[in-house]
Structure 1
Amino acid sequence: MVQLSDLQSLFGHRFEIEVNVEVDGDVVSGRLMDRMGDTNAFIVDGIPRFVSGASYADSFSLQWNMFRSTQLDSKSGRKLSFQRFWEGTKWKPKDIYGRHILEAGSGAGRFTEVMLDAGAKVATFDLSEAIVANCQNNRGRGEVTFFQADIYDIPCADDRFDFVFCYGVLQHTPDPDKAFRSLITKLRPGGRISIDYYLKHNRLDPFNQPKYFWRRWTVDMQPQKLLSFIRAYMPVWLPFDTCIRRIPFLGPKILGFLRIPCWNYLRSGLTPQQRLEWAILDTFDALSARYDVPRTLDEVHRMVQQIPELDDIDVFYGSNGVVANARRR
């Protein structure tokens, strides 16, 4: 749930807050009325909803509610999200303890969990219904507010957050540069931002190339139908994919020739059943997203450099491709 004081702190600069149902200090339902226009938002099951209706992120609603706990470290028993977060951001737990973080595009909350466990105060949002899965996973874990919103119109006050975190998101938006600029406005002077971005390869790659070969057809499929198809072939194909990957030198060439999409976490430490679930999840993610626009490291660097408010820029290969960290002047 969300407390009235948190709503006023995050959204009070722009919205009048009307509480309909409150239980033990938590707002269960209500309305936020925009002082600057006619855009009203509703609080449903403790989650402020600043968007409604269909969007380009609808496949993520299915994905993250279907695989709600798959990537949570607390469920997998591994530290895959933990390692990716700290290695990518280069922040330290002491840096974010007690500090305000805005998380854009939370999915089911794999990184929300990491930040809350480090003692951060997190405001986390997603355009899709994935925010429901995140709320179910992380409600009560720490100081956190969940809300559903558009990255191009983030309802929080400008210059408010000590940190902004956005992994696995920008390449899936219609205008990544505009989305990135929107995030910067929420960062206070001296605050830090960390993003990652899919890497664009200059040659055919055995891991990434099949995705872009098949996306010509899969993007327009009904998400549920596509997921059913992946669920059907993955248990059969994953063992073959694993065997081929183990062939020295020839494995990648064979997989590149076959062009069968399969995200295989072979050396991750996951159990065989977990690897199957992750393979289904990430293959669906790769084939279903409406937008998927990778960039080279240099292109990501230029995207960050063009923001005059940023300095201390660090762009490197990592996470899901390329990571960019910076500080707002």
Structure 2
Amino acid sequence: MATLSQLQEAFGHRYRVEAEADSHGDIVAGRLIDNAGGQIVPIVDGIPRFVMGENYADGFGLQWNVFRSTQLDSRSGRKLSFQRFWEGTKWRPRDLYGKRVLEAGSGAGRFTEVLLDAGAIVTTFDLSEAVVANRLNNAAGGEVVFFQGNIYDIPCQDAAFDYVFCYGVLQHTPEPDRAFQALVQKVKPGGRISIDYYLKHDRLDPFNQPKYFWRRWTVDVPPSKLLSMIRSYMPIWLPVDTFIRRIPFLGPKLLGLLRIPCWNYLRSGLTRDQRLEWAILDTFDALSARYDEPRTLDEVRHMVEQVDGLDEVDVFYGSNGVVANARRQ
């Protein structure tokens, strides 16, 4: 959790704090009051809530609280998040030590854990209740402030962060270009930003076609019901999916024809039980998101290059589709 001074640093002294603290000085409850407009932001369970109530990210809130620790490297025993973070950002751990990092759309905090392990000073937020799972996972991991907020209206000072990080998020927003522009505003001159984005595949791609075939119906299913449905068939289907994937040449084509959604981390090094847990989680993630707009590499590049004040733009195929890194001038 955050102390008074950490909250003030995160939100640029824009808000005054009326709060209760525990014996260690961590804020556990209270409110932030906007010095200019009088807006009142409740602090609930140590988390300032700049947005509350239902929104398009409710499904993510459910999944990350149900699967709170599934993707944490400290839980899986693998370095899947570690590798994806450092290979994508091309940053170095020593560069982040003691630096201020804004993490947007943090989910349950798989990358928050990586950032804190590197010694970064982290401000991390999510639109959904996933921020609760992140706090439970990472509050004791280092210097970190959590809040629930909207990527279009980030309550932190502009040009305040050395690094801004946003993976697995922009394609799930109603206006990805606007969301990216909002993130760039928070980067200091000379600071760096790293985002990733789902890749737009050919319509006949055997891995992605089932997702977009089924989403026309699944996005309107209540999240709890959809999760229950996936949990019911995945233990039966995952071994079948694994068998088919191992058939040379014909396996991928057959899966494309069957159109049964299953995110199978066959060669990830995860155990059988972990693969089942990840399959349920990521299949739900794929079918439940209200917004899912993949883009080609050139389209992602255009999104980045149309924003003034960025240089050293580097756009490439990454672990989740397309990665884009840049420096703010």
What residue number does 2:285 align with? 285
What residue number does 1:148 align with? 148
Q: Which amino acid aligns with 1:236?
A: I
Partner SS, residue 158 of structure 1: coil
Partner SS, residue 23 of structure 1: coil
Residue 134 of structure 1 deviates from its aligned partner by 0.4
Residue 8 of structure 1 deviates from its aligned partner by 1.0
What residue number does 2:180 align with? 180
What residue number does 2:224 align with? 224
What residue number does 1:301 align with? 301
What residue number does 1:78 align with? 78
What residue number does 1:168 align with? 168
CA distance in 1, matches of 2:39, 2:254: 53
What residue number does 2:7 align with? 7
CA distance in 2, matches of 1:202, 1:85: 26
What residue number does 1:54 align with? 54
What residue number does 2:90 align with? 90
- The answer to whether the Cα contact below 8 Å between 1:19 and 1:31 also exists between their aligned partners in 2 is yes
Residue 37 of structure 1 deviates from its aligned partner by 2.5
Between 1:33-42 and 1:289-298, the stretch displaced more is 33-42
CA distance in 2, matches of 1:200, 1:14: 40
CA distance in 1, matches of 2:251, 2:37: 58
What residue number does 1:274 align with? 274
- The answer to whether the Cα contact below 8 Å between 1:301 and 1:324 also exists between their aligned partners in 2 is yes
CA distance in 1, matches of 2:39, 2:205: 45
Partner SS, residue 193 of structure 1: strand
Residue 23 of structure 1 deviates from its aligned partner by 3.3
Residue 38 of structure 1 deviates from its aligned partner by 4.3
CA distance in 1, matches of 2:47, 2:263: 32
What residue number does 1:214 align with? 214
**TM-score, length-normalised on structure 1?**
0.98
Partner SS, residue 241 of structure 2: helix
Cα distance per residue 1:184-209 (max 9 Å; x no partner): 11100000000000000133111111
Cα distance per residue 1:263-302 (max 9 Å; x no partner): 0000000000000000000000000000000000000000
* Structure 1 residue runs of 4 or more that deviate by more than 6 Å after TM superposition: none
CA distance in 2, matches of 1:225, 1:38: 40
Cα distance per residue 1:155-187 (max 9 Å; x no partner): 011110000000000000000000000001110
Partner SS, residue 214 of structure 1: helix
Q: Which amino acid aligns with 1:229?
A: M
CA distance in 1, matches of 2:32, 2:183: 22
Q: Which amino acid aligns with 2:279?
A: A
Residue 17 of structure 1 deviates from its aligned partner by 1.5
CA distance in 2, matches of 1:273, 1:202: 32
Between 1:202-211 and 1:21-30, the stretch displaced more is 21-30
What residue number does 1:235 align with? 235
Residue 235 of structure 1 deviates from its aligned partner by 0.4
What residue number does 1:130 align with? 130
What residue number does 2:326 align with? 326
How many equivalent residue pairs?
A: 329
Q: Which amino acid aligns with 1:290?
A: R
Identity %: 74
**TM-score, length-normalised on structure 2?**
0.98
- The answer to whether the Cα contact below 8 Å between 1:22 and 1:29 also exists between their aligned partners in 2 is no
- Root-mean-square deviation (Å): 0.9
